Amino acid sequence: MKTKRPIQALNEKARAIQSLADGENKSVRASQQGPPAMPVGCTTIFDTGWETNPRPTYPVGNCMSSAKDFHGCAGDCWWPAQVPDGLTNHEDFDKQCPNIARDWRVLKYD
Amino acid sequence: MEALHSWADHRVFAGPDESLILGVEDLSLFALSPQACQTLGRWRSSKFVDLNSVPASDYEVLEGLRDARILRPVPRQDETQPGQQPSPQPLKVGTVPLSTLVLEVAQDCNLNCTYCYAEGGTYGAAPCLLDVDKARAAARHLLEHCGDQRHVTLIFFGGEPLMNMPAIRAAVSEAQSYARELGKQVHFSVTTNGTLLDAEIVAFLHAHRVAVAVSMDGPPDIHDRNRPGKDGQGSYAEITSRLEMLLQDSPVPVAARVTLEPDQWHRLPEVYDHLIGLGFHEVGIAPVSPVSKALLPSIGEETLLMAGFSELARRFVEVAREGFVMPFSNILDLLGRLHIGQTRPVSCGAGLGYMAVDANGRFFPCHRLTGEMDFHAGGLADGIDHDRINISLASLNKGRDQHCSGCWARNLCAGGCHYENHLRENHLGLPRGSSCRVIRGWLELGLRTYAELRSDDAIEALGQRLSQRAQC
> Tens of pLDDT along B122-180?
888 889 999 999 999 999 999 999 999 999 999 999 999 999 999 999 999 999 999 99
Confirm if B358 and B103 have CB atoms less than 8 A apart: no
Nearest neighbour of B68 by CB, restricted to A1, A7, A55: A7
Choice between A59 and B370, residue whose per-residue pLDDT is larger: B370
| Structural domain count, chain A | 2
In single-letter form, the type of residue at position B26 comes to: D
In this structure, what CATH number is given to the domain that contains residue B267?
Answer: 3.20.20.70
CB < 8 Å from A in window 284-323 of B: none
Domain that holds residue A51: 41-110
User: What is the average per-residue pLDDT within B7-27?
Assistant: 94
Segment A57-60 long-range contacts (CB within 8 Å, at least 24 positions apart): A57/B78, A58/A101, A58/A102, A59/A100, A59/A101, A59/A102, A59/A104, A60/A102
Q: Give the distance from residue B435's alpha carbon to the nearest chain A alpha carbon, in angstroms.
A: 27
Flag whether pLDDT at B458 surpasses 80. Answer: no
Same domain, A98 and A84: yes
Residue B166 has a pLDDT of 98
Residue A66 has a pLDDT of 63
**Residue B72's closest CA among B54, B53, B55, B49?**
B49
Same domain, A68 and A80: yes
Whether B87 has its CB under 8 Å from any CB of chain A: the answer is no
Instruction: Tell me, yes or no, whether B394 lies in a domain.
Output: no
Domain boundary among B73, B90, B122: B73
Same domain, B173 and B240: yes
Give the confidence band of B121 by pLDDT, cuts at 50, 70, 90: confident
Instruction: Tell me, yes or no, whether A102 lies in a domain.
Output: yes
Predicted TM-score (pTM) of this structure = 0.81
Chain B residues touching A18 at Cβ < 8 A = 67-68
| Structural domain count, chain B | 2
Nearest neighbour of B338 by CB, restricted to A11, A22, A55: A11
Same domain, B150 and B189: yes
Chain B residues touching A12 at Cβ < 8 A = 339-341, 463, 467
Chain B residues touching A4 at Cβ < 8 A = none
Same domain, A68 and A83: yes
Flag whether pLDDT at B76 surpasses 80. Answer: no
> Tens of pLDDT along B208-231?
999 999 999 999 999 999 999 999
Same domain, B145 and B257: yes
Q: What residues are paired with B157 via a beta bridge?
A: B104
Same domain, B22 and B125: no
Q: What angle do CA B414, B9, B410 make, to 5 degrees?
A: 10
CB contact under 8 A, B67 and A11: no
Flag whether pLDDT at B234 surpasses 60. Answer: yes
Cβ neighbours, 10 Å, residue B52 = 9
Nearest CA in chain A to B37: A6
> Tens of pLDDT along B375-406?
999 999 999 999 999 999 999 999 998 999 99
User: What is the average per-residue pLDDT within B40-63?
Assistant: 94
Instruction: Tell me, yes or no, whether A3 lies in a domain.
Output: no
Same domain, B132 and B63: no
Residue A25 has a pLDDT of 62
Share of chain B above pLDDT 90, in %: 83
Give the confidence band of B119 by pLDDT, cuts at 50, 70, 90: confident
CA B269/CA B225 separation, integer angstroms = 18
User: What is the average per-residue pLDDT within B196-206?
Assistant: 97
**Residue B356's closest CA among B324, B380, B332, B337?**
B380
User: What is the average per-residue pLDDT within B200-212?
Assistant: 97
Q: Which residues of A are catalytic?
A: 69
In this structure, what CATH number is given to the domain that contains residue A106?
Answer: 4.10.940
User: What is the average per-residue pLDDT within B412-422?
Assistant: 93
Same domain, A69 and A80: yes
Nearest CA in chain A to B456: A1
Confirm if B182 and B218 have CB atoms less than 8 A apart: no
Domain boundary among B322, B337, B364: B364
Flag whether pLDDT at A94 surpasses 90. Answer: no
Same domain, B124 and B193: yes
CA B408/CA B341 separation, integer angstroms = 14
Share of chain A above pLDDT 70, in %: 33
Same domain, A32 and A51: no
Flag whether pLDDT at B312 surpasses 50. Answer: yes
- Of all helices (H) and strands (E), which one includes residue A54? none
User: Who contacts A13 (Cβ-Cβ below 8 Å, separation ≥6)?
Assistant: B23, B26, B27, B28, B29, B340, B341
> Tens of pLDDT along A12-49?
999 999 888 877 665 444 444 444 444 444 444 444 44
Residue A31 has a pLDDT of 45
Q: Give the distance from residue B409's alpha carbon to the nearest chain A alpha carbon, in angstroms.
A: 16
User: What is the average per-residue pLDDT within B457-470?
Assistant: 71
Flag whether pLDDT at A7 surpasses 70. Answer: yes
**Helix (H), strand (E), coil (C) string for chain B:** CCCEEEECCEEEECCCCCEEEEECCCCEEEEECHHHHHHHHHHCCCCEEECCCCCHHHHHHHHHHHHCCCEEECCCCCCCCCCCCCCCCCCCCCCCCCCEEEEEEEECCCECCCCCCCCCCCCCCCCEECCHHHHHHHHHHHHHCCCCCCEEEEEEEECCHHHHHHHHHHHHHHHHHHHHHHCCEEEEEEEECCCCCCHHHHHHHHHCCCEEEEECCCCHHHHHHHCEECCCCECHHHHHHHHHHHHCCCCCCCEEEEEECHHHHHHHHHHHHHHHHCCCCEEEEEECCCCCHHHCCCHHHHHHHHHHHHHHHHHHHHHHHCCCCCCEHHHHHHHHHHHHCCCCCCCCCECCCEEEECCCCEEECCHHHCCCHHHCCEECCCEECHHHHHHHHHHHHCCHHHHHCCCCCHHHHCCCCHHHHHHHHHHCCCCCCCCHHHHHHHHHHHHHHHHHHHHCCCCHHHHHHHHHHHCC
Residue B83 has a pLDDT of 47
Give the confidence band of A62 by pLDDT, cuts at 50, 70, 90: low
Same domain, A47 and A98: yes
Residue A42 has a pLDDT of 45
DSSP state of A48: T
- Of all helices (H) and strands (E), which one includes residue A9? strand A7-9
Same domain, A32 and A81: no
Domain that holds residue B137: 102-314+354-364
Same domain, B123 and B21: no
Instruction: Tell me, yes or no, whether B284 lies in a domain.
Output: yes
User: What is the average per-residue pLDDT within B438-445?
Assistant: 96
Flag whether pLDDT at B36 surpasses 80. Answer: yes
B337: Cα separation from own chain's centroid: 10
Same domain, A34 and A48: no
Nearest neighbour of B340 by CB, restricted to A12, A17, A25: A12
CA B418/CA B221 separation, integer angstroms = 32
Same domain, B38 and B156: no
Mean pLDDT (chain B, rounded):
92
User: What is the average per-residue pLDDT within B50-74?
Assistant: 94
